[in-house]
Each structure stands twice: as C-alpha cells, then as structure tokens.
C-alpha cells in the first residue's frame, strides 16, 4: 500500500514517516503529475520515497477567481 502523508521535510528526509500525519492509503502508485483532491481538500505532492511507498503531500488552496489568464486560456490556480 502507498501512503500519502502530510509533508514535513525534517521527518521525510530523516525517514520518520510515521511522525507525519497519514492522509490516505492507496493500493497503486499515485500519479505525481497531478493534484489530489482528498476529503474536500486539495493537495500537491512534494516528495516521494518509492522504496518506502510514501508520498509527502501539502495542502494548497485554489483561487477560483484569478486576476489573469494565460495566452492559452488556462486560469492559473495559484494566482
């Protein structure tokens, strides 16, 4: 099982994954090219440990009313 845990750089790089809050467990390796929506919250991945099957994720907030649009009509979720 893969674990998605709230990212803490000190715990992650120290190998103390059990000290990071478990957000979710999944059977297959999650796609790291996407943003996760879990329990009504939005997360992005920060670090991955394939050997330990742990992905460190951070909660983000999405601005639904961006001030600018890109040339490709894509609204930036971070603006």
Q: Note the pLDDT tens digit of each residue in 23-32.
A: 999 999 888 8
- Look at residue 19 and give its three-state secondary structure: helix
What does pTM read for this prediction? 0.74
Query: pLDDT averaged over the chain?
Result: 87
Residue 37 contacts residue 45 (beta carbons within 8 Å):
no
Using the Cα atoms of residue 19, residue 34, residue 39 and residue 1 in order, give the sign of their dihedral. Answer: negative
pLDDT in tens, 6-44: 999 999 999 999 999 999 999 998 888 888 899 999 999
Candidates 53, 52, 56; CA nearest to 44 is 56
Q: How far apart are CA 49 and CA 36, in angstroms?
A: 17
Distance CA 68, CA 76 (A): 8
**Cα(1)–Cα(27) distance, rounded to whole angstroms?**
5
């Amino acid at each position: 099982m893969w674990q998605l845990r709230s990212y803490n750089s000190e715990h992650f790089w120290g190998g103390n994954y059990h000290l990071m809050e478990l957000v979710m467990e999944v059977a297959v390796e999650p796609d790291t090219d996407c943003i996760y929506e879990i329990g009504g919250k939005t997360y992005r991945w920060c670090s991955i440990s394939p050997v330990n099957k742990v992905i460190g994720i951070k909660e983000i907030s999405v601005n639904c009313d961006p001030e600018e649009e890109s040339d490709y009509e894509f609204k930036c979720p971070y603006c």
